[in-house]
Amino acid sequence: MTGRPSASRRTIIRGAALTPVAGLGLAACGPGGGAGPSAPTAPVDLGAESAIPQGGAKLYRDHNVVVSKDASGALKAFSSICTHAGCAINKLQGTTLVCPCHGSEFDATTGEVVRSPATQPLEELPVHAKGGKVVAGPGA
């Protein structure tokens, strides 16, 4: 006998049952961890330009896009998929996007990170307004 206590059958079974669960949790937290939400891959009609406040931003959760309008009326659009772990950002406070997964924050007017753990800015998307309607995404 080695003097070390041996693992009980119950301990071994519990460990075997929890291993796949732990693996799923780690995969979900990793960058690009699975088929999560994505930014538009084609132009998307976002509706009325008047819905975006001058000097502010509007989050379009259904399309994973945020659009801001500066004081001169110029529009900028960004993917609202967090660059840290690929989570869909679902909260806009003023012009700050807040990721629900790990608390990263981004400036909705520049796409820049204002609070880690994210280190990369949001992906900028083409955007334009025509006839009072906003269209964003590749090819817009």
Instruction: Tell me the per-residue pLDDT of 13-48, one tens digit each, with 9 for 90 and over.
Output: 555 554 444 444 444 444 444 456 888 889 999 999
> Model confidence over 116-133: pLDDT tens digits?
999 999 999 999 999 999
pLDDT at 38 (0 to 100): 86
Say if strands 56-60 and 65-69 run parallel, antiparallel, or are unpaired: antiparallel
Prediction pTM value: 0.75
Residue range 112-118: mean pLDDT, rounded:
98
Of 57, 117, 116, the closest CA to residue 92 belongs to 57
Token reading at 135: 């269209």
Q: From CA 46, how far away is CA 66, in angstroms rounded?
A: 10
- Ordered DSSP codes for 3-57: SSPPPPHHHHHHHHHHHHHHHHHHHHHSTT-SS-----SS-EEEEEGGGSPTTEE
Say if strands 96-98 and 105-107 run parallel, antiparallel, or are unpaired: antiparallel
